[in-house]
Amino acid sequence: MLQNHRDDFLNVPISDLRSRVVSGELTVTALVQGYLGRIQTSDAEVRAFLAVTEDRALASAADADRRIASGEPLGPLTGAVIALKDNLCVEGVVTTAGSRILERYIPPYTATVVTRLQSAGAIVIGKTNLDEFAMGSSTEHSAFGPTRNPWDLERVPGGSSGGSAAACAAAMCSGALGSDTGGSIRQPAAFCGVVGLKPTYGRVSRSGLIAFASSLDQIGPFGHDVRDCAELLQTIAGHDPLDSTSSTMPVPEYAESCGTSVAGLRIGLPVEFFGDGISPTCAAAAREAAAALQSMGARVEECSLPATAWGLSAYYVIAPAEASSNLARFDGIRYGLRVSGSGHIGLMEATRGTGFGAEVQQRIMAGTWCLSSGYYDQYYRRAQQVRTLIRGDFDVAFERFDVLLSPTTPTTAFRFGDCADPLQMKLGDVCTLPANLAGICAISIPAGLVDGLPAGVQLMARAFDEEMLFRVGSAYEQVRGALQPPRVGASAEWMAA
Amino acid sequence: MTTESGISRGESAYEPVIGMECHAELLTASKMFCSCENRFGGEPNTRCCPVCLGLPGALPAVNRMAVEHVIRTAIALNCSIESEAHFDRKNYYYPDLPKGYQISQYGKPIGSGGWLDFEVEGKPKRVHIRRVHLEEDTGKLIHFAGDSQRSFVDFNRSGVPLMEIVTEFPPDLHSADEARAYLTELRAVLTFLGVCDGKMEEGSLRCEPNVSVRLRNAETYGAKTEIKNLNSFRAVERGIAFEAGRQATLLETGGVVRQETRGWDEGRAATFSQRSKEVEQEYRYFPEPDLPPLRLDEPWLERIRATMPELPSSLRNRCLTEYGLSAYDARLISESRATAQWFEAAAAVGGDAKLVVNWMMGDLARLVNAAGASLDQCPVTPQRLGELVTLVSSGAITGKIAKAVLDEMYATGEPPAAIVEARGWRTERDPAAIRGLVEQACNANPEIVADITLRGLTQKRGFLIGQVMKASGGKADPGEVNRLLDELLARATGA
Ligand SMILES: [Zn+2]
């Protein structure tokens, strides 16, 4: 019954799924089987998943159905079936971070966000593909092959959380988690036409997230709409004693912000995010979104964040520097790949030389260089100073504006191989990474299609003001209206299934 | 090869310059950044978790007790204390370093700019302290003889909180004796504070002296060497003396001192070259992004100040004024908190503090050392030693008997009074009985009596007293023996 109605999977909010399974209209097992069937028919093309945890998911579903039947209390995410970026550790499940060096690594503990999802009743359906150690903007840099964009299989899904974005877009799950270091949730969300949220730094525990750049990384949700992201954040947010950088600030009721009026809110359009290097069509899509909000009573004005011009340079010093240190633990001594060499150091060299891909090696080299004693002041310290300036720009802007609006990406999804120039590729993060450097929250919401491909609009708000993103984002969704599903999502095999 | 020449004989043109870097393992229930138990030894890799193994995704959380211990030490060492504790990463590769970096404090140590006062051969000495900071220990490589293909790693020690105490440059220490005295005082301070157990042999207090020599009164400093693997006070003293001598001889004979790390060979009593350190190791320090700065706010510091225990210098003063001990005894008592507490508990019972020290440092120390134990494992409690001292000072038993009682106490753990009663070891005071023994001794040794009475060789009295004591089984009251012997000899002279 269920599988005959595409809408039962796609664009059905998590809260609706919950009420359907609670009412008995649908069993959780049927729901999970539906997604598994969807993965079976579509993922051969998309390749969003590195592992599908079918047995675990079905066992959890059976347990959930038993609880429902016996009237036991249910968590708020009952009925949510979630895919996890494969840099989130799950006890007993191979976790690769997209790297050969962890090809057979099975963590002995589970990331806090995953534990929280599971205790809220969500079911994990599998682990999704990513650029190796989350380094990249296309999910082409996974050691296990690229993921394809469900809208156009010749195009990239964006990165590094491309697997999670694609899985969500192709309705292979009700939501997904990714990690965002410089735009790794928002950029693929924009390319794949789903909602992706980078919460404020410290809002969500990073415990169990295989680190890329500790001071920039933040775990966040993908959803079919803003409310789904709000519900997922509700569950994963909050202080965790296992992560000292996680905030003790109370977690608001995020879903309550969805659907509240935007009349009188002040929206800023930072001119730097609409200028050189930004395709006119993406900029136009963002301006249209602003106009739509204005029609709902918001006040829209241009503003400037001058220091963001240096954001890309600062980011490409800080992120590799921290990565070079974070990745030092992959040495072949205790777990993962081991390639023998002469003596201890030889073993480490051979393991790291074989286990890490080119992109990762390049960033480790760059980061090592930036931290070395002769260059620390010139690069790392300088970059941290730029970061302070960027924060200052945002502080000034947020005195005038409740939210800032921009395109999420300079272009829509590019074709495989079209972005051979690494610098060009890195420019893809130019709109997203200022939020990571400043530690504020930001969300990407589909802004319709540009030449048949999704474009994203980005909203940025003050640190810990995710409520503002949900409020403005859900208002925009109302005026924008429903979206059509991607090509793969509408494929005939699935319709017939 | 050189010998221990020059410096120690004081005839060299060169003087040693010694900097000390000491690592103290902190006495905390759990490790520095996780909740694993912090304890010495044990089956390898039984006290490990994702955090101290550096597993992917595991994050550190600061142990506040370890921070407090460093603050306590910084206060005791007269340091100024930062208002925030910052942590940095020290990056390097080694198989026993699970994260590929060590979390340490580089830019801003918790304490800096302090000093430690103590005495060397009765003269006051002040050593300036550059920094006191917190870091985590690494694991340990284990090699098995005959298996050169493999090494094993034990991570039980990985993440154990370590405090590093570094002396100021230019260094204030100029001899092995001074270095030893510094280390002795530092250990006493740490154990009095209860922040470290000070056990060098278990590695919970480790010291790496930097040694260089320079022409006396010269402004410049020569190349320095760092000595590793020193696990006793004796090794520290001998290692420094050897190394200073080696460098002086080298320079005197036209050689050049190379900057390097040197090991200490206890058997050969010599240092040996481990690795050249001409290229400074590149640690790529940067602020630890996983740990936000920890505020050391005034109320917290105030609470710590309010609960600071007595320091060894204060105890030494009390030993002189309150207990009437000699400076030498005061120093012995204050070498560690365990010793000091043991002494005070015994003195509270035993009354005569001087006697308590003598017994503690004499016969009891001999028994403890012979058993290879330490004072806190000693079957004789401070109370029992106090009781024994009371029995001696009241005259209930003689000093000679007391030694036998102590042996019994050590072996059986029995109270001294019970041992004395059971063995009938109370002092013999009956004049008639003692007179009989004195007469017996004199009669048996007429020529000795003659030596004393006729030839005035009074030193031979001791022999007769010894005979009497022996005959009494050591129980005869020595005063009574003396009095009666005098009486008898006087009579013999008069006769
Ligand atoms: Zn641990």
pLDDT at A1: 35
Write out the two tokens for B358.
Answer: 């003598």
Instruction: Read off the pLDDT of residues A323-362 as tens digits, 9 standing for 90 and up.
Output: 999 999 999 999 999 999 998 899 999 999 999 999 999 9
Asked if pLDDT for residue A491 goes beyond 60, the answer is no
Q: List the single residue in B57, B93, B282 with the smallest CB-CB distance to A210.
A: B57
Q: Which of A184, A205, A257, A474 is catalytic?
A: A184
Chain B residues whose beta carbon lies within 8 Å of the beta carbon of residue A85: none
What is the Cα A277 distance to its own chain's centre?
23
Write out the two tokens for B256.
Answer: 């050049």
Write out the two tokens for A97.
Answer: 């971070």
Chain B residues whose beta carbon lies within 8 Å of the beta carbon of residue A334: 53-54, 98, 153
B181 shares contact with chain A (CB less than 8 Å): no
Q: Sorting pLDDT into bands at 50, 70 and 90, what band is B275?
A: confident
| HSE toward the beta carbon, residue A193, CA cutoff 13 A | 23
Instruction: Read off the pLDDT of residues A115-169 as tens digits, 9 standing for 90 and up.
Output: 999 999 999 999 999 999 999 999 999 999 999 999 999 999 999 999 999 999 9
The radius of gyration of chain A from alpha carbons, rounded to an integer in Å, stands at 21
Q: Could you give the CA distance from residue B185 to residue B77 in angstroms, rounded to a whole number?
A: 11
Q: Which helix (DSSP H) or strand (DSSP E) does residue A59 occupy?
A: helix A54-69
**What amino acid is encoded at A394 in this protein?**
F
The reply to whether residue A329 touches residue B61, judged by beta carbons under 8 angstroms, is no
Q: Could you give the CA distance from residue B415 to residue B413 in angstroms, rounded to a whole number?
A: 7
The reply to whether residue A345 touches residue B93, judged by beta carbons under 8 angstroms, is yes
User: pTM here?
Assistant: 0.89
Ligand 1 centroid to B140 CA: how many Å?
A: 15
Ligand 1 centroid to A92 CA: how many Å?
A: 19
User: Which residue reads 């142990």 in tokens?
Assistant: B63
pLDDT at A493: 40
Q: Could you give the CA distance from residue A199 to residue A436 in angstroms, rounded to a whole number?
A: 10
pLDDT at B277: 58
Average pLDDT, chain A: 94
Instruction: Read off the pLDDT of residues B251-267 as tens digits, 9 standing for 90 and up.
Output: 989 899 999 999 999 99
Chain B residues whose beta carbon lies within 8 Å of the beta carbon of residue A239: none
pLDDT at A458: 98
Q: List the single residue in A107, A209, A243 with the smallest CB-CB distance to B55.
A: A107
pLDDT at A47: 98
The reply to whether residue B95 touches residue A333, judged by beta carbons under 8 angstroms, is yes
Write out the two tokens for B316.
Answer: 């030494």
Give the list of residues 6+ apart from residue B288 with CB closer than 8 angstroms, or none: B60, B87, B88, B89, B103
pLDDT at A11: 61
Ligand 1 centroid to A242 CA: how many Å?
A: 12
Asked if pLDDT for residue B13 goes beyond 90, the answer is no
The reply to whether residue A109 touches residue B62, judged by beta carbons under 8 angstroms, is no
Instruction: Read off the pLDDT of residues A69-89 as tens digits, 9 standing for 90 and up.
Output: 999 999 999 999 999 999 999
Q: Is A444 a catalytic residue?
A: no
Ligand 1 centroid to B56 CA: how many Å?
A: 13
Of the candidates B181, B235, B188, the one whose C-alpha atom is nearest the C-alpha of residue B208 is B235
Chain A residues whose beta carbon lies within 8 Å of the beta carbon of residue B58: 109, 207-208
Q: Which of A99, A138, A142, A160 is catalytic?
A: A160
Q: Could you give the CA distance from residue A45 to residue A32 in angstroms, rounded to a whole number?
A: 20
On the question of a cis peptide bond just before residue B170, with omega within 30 degrees of 0, the verdict is yes
The reply to whether residue B55 touches residue A373, judged by beta carbons under 8 angstroms, is no
pLDDT at B11: 59
Angle (nearest 5°) at CA B352 between B348 and B354: 110
B376 to A426, B181, B343, B350, B351: CA distances (angstroms): 65, 23, 12, 19, 21
On the question of a cis peptide bond just before residue A160, with omega within 30 degrees of 0, the verdict is yes
Give the list of residues 6+ apart from residue B452 with CB closer than 8 angstroms, or none: B458, B460, B461, B464, B489
The reply to whether residue B291 touches residue A108, judged by beta carbons under 8 angstroms, is no
Of the candidates A233, A215, A251, A209, the one whose C-alpha atom is nearest the C-alpha of residue A97 is A209
The reply to whether residue A322 touches residue B289, judged by beta carbons under 8 angstroms, is yes
Ligand 1 centroid to B376 CA: how many Å?
A: 29
DSSP states along A421-457: SHHHHHHTTTTTHHHHHHT-EEEEEEEEEETTEEEEE
Taking CB atoms and an 8 Å cut-off, how many pairs form between chains A and B? Answer: 107
DSSP states along A285-307: HHHHHHHHHHHTT-EEEEE--GG
Scanning A220-296, the segments in alpha helix (DSSP H) are 226-236, 280-295
| ipTM of this complex prediction, to 2 decimal places | 0.95
B107 shares contact with chain A (CB less than 8 Å): no
Chain B residues whose beta carbon lies within 8 Å of the beta carbon of residue A102: 56
Nearest-Cα distance to chain B for A56, in Å, is 22
Ligand 1 centroid to B35 CA: how many Å?
A: 6
Are A315 and A436 a contacting pair, CB within 8 Å? yes
Q: Sorting pLDDT into bands at 50, 70 and 90, what band is B278?
A: low
Q: Sorting pLDDT into bands at 50, 70 and 90, what band is B382?
A: very high
Residues with CB under 5 A from ligand 1 (ion): B 34, 36, 49, 51-52
Q: Which of A394-398, B104-108, B212-216 has the lowest mean pLDDT?
A: B212-216
Asked if pLDDT for residue B364 goes beyond 70, the answer is yes
Chain A residues whose beta carbon lies within 8 Å of the beta carbon of residue B57: 87-89, 107, 111, 206-211
Of the candidates B147, B134, B139, B138, the one whose C-alpha atom is nearest the C-alpha of residue B62 is B134
- DSSP label at residue B145: T
**Residue in chain B nearest A133 by alpha carbon:** B56
Nearest-Cα distance to chain B for A108, in Å, is 8
Nearest-Cα distance to chain A for B293, in Å, is 10
Average pLDDT, integer, range B477-481: 86
Are A223 and A232 a contacting pair, CB within 8 Å? yes
Report CA dihedral (A312, A313, A316, A322) to the nearest 10 degrees. Answer: -110
Give the list of residues 6+ apart from residue B297 with CB closer than 8 angstroms, or none: B83
The reply to whether residue A97 touches residue B101, judged by beta carbons under 8 angstroms, is no
Q: List the single residue in B56, B61, B101 with the smallest CB-CB distance to A325.
A: B101
Are A191 and A455 a contacting pair, CB within 8 Å? no
Asked if pLDDT for residue B417 goes beyond 70, the answer is yes
Asked if pLDDT for residue A6 goes beyond 50, the answer is no
Share of chain A above pLDDT 70, in %: 96
Are B392 and B355 a contacting pair, CB within 8 Å? yes
Q: Could you give the CA distance from residue B345 to residue B360 in angstroms, rounded to a whole number?
A: 12
Chain B residues whose beta carbon lies within 8 Å of the beta carbon of residue A335: 55
pLDDT at B350: 78
Ligand 1 centroid to B153 CA: how many Å?
A: 15
Ligand 1 centroid to B54 CA: how many Å?
A: 9
Instruction: Read off the pLDDT of residues A169-216 as tens digits, 9 standing for 90 and up.
Output: 999 999 999 999 999 999 999 999 999 999 999 999 999 999 999 999
Of the candidates A313, A434, A212, the one whose C-alpha atom is nearest the C-alpha of residue B289 is A212
The reply to whether residue B56 touches residue A322, judged by beta carbons under 8 angstroms, is no
More confident residue, B318 or B423: B318
pLDDT at A496: 34
Average pLDDT, chain B: 91
The reply to whether residue A325 touches residue B60, judged by beta carbons under 8 angstroms, is no
Q: Sorting pLDDT into bands at 50, 70 and 90, what band is B9?
A: very low
DSSP states along A327-368: GGG-SSSSSS-----SHHHHHHHHHHHHHS-HHHHHHHHHHH
Chain A residues whose beta carbon lies within 8 Å of the beta carbon of residue B292: 244-245
pLDDT at B480: 86
Q: Sorting pLDDT into bands at 50, 70 and 90, what band is A489?
A: low
Instruction: Read off the pLDDT of residues A443-467 as tens digits, 9 standing for 90 and up.
Output: 999 999 999 999 999 999 999 999 9
